[in-house]
Chain A
């Protein structure tokens, strides 16, 4: 079955430090992959998406993610964390078995230390 695993339910980094949020997927067909961010008391906002073009995907707010088929990973990174990055981050996959359905990971809460 298709699935998404996010390693680490909570990640804390210092302001200015590298942000790395981990995501591994399971899919029997080439997947479409997404990262979403959810700020407190808000809906989900798309950060970036991978749709089988370039393996390094750049998103909004300085985030990027690299699709690594050999590792079945799609980790999210940002070189320098900002206080405003504190939020919940969800990795998601459209596995292709159902054209529209998206499966979400369990989420990682990112905290930024001053």
Chain B
């Protein structure tokens, strides 16, 4: 298993600004994942972050809007840029220590854009 922490747990941001979310894992993992969960909805994968390479983005998500850093095997950041009210969501990071295994999730960051 893996224990994941996220910072901040919640934030209220103004339109046009950016928020950077941090994800820390208690063990080294190859892949980290970033998800968005819009109000009352399921999880949508934003991107997969491998250490030492560019993140792989899912359809509908672009690097300019959601830049990701992965400086080492235990840490990643997701920035949500040029915020609009439509970005109000919960953002979760996850890891899967074993290939094809289950993913373990952080507690999420609840973002409200005003």
Contact = CB atoms under 8 A, between A and B. Distances in A.
Nearest to A106: B42
Contact of B99 (A34, A44, A45, A100): A100
Interface stretch (B64-72, B79-87, B103-111): B103-111
Contacts of A101: 45, 48
B96 interface: yes
B102 A44 contact: no
A99 B48 contact: no
A46 B108 contact: no
A2 B28 CA distance: 29
Contact of A46 (B41, B100, B102): B102
Contacts of B33: 100
Contacts of A99: 99-100
Interface of B: 4, 31, 33, 41-43, 45, 48, 92, 94, 96, 99-108, 110
Interface of A: 32, 34, 36, 41-46, 49, 51, 90, 94, 96, 99-102, 104-107
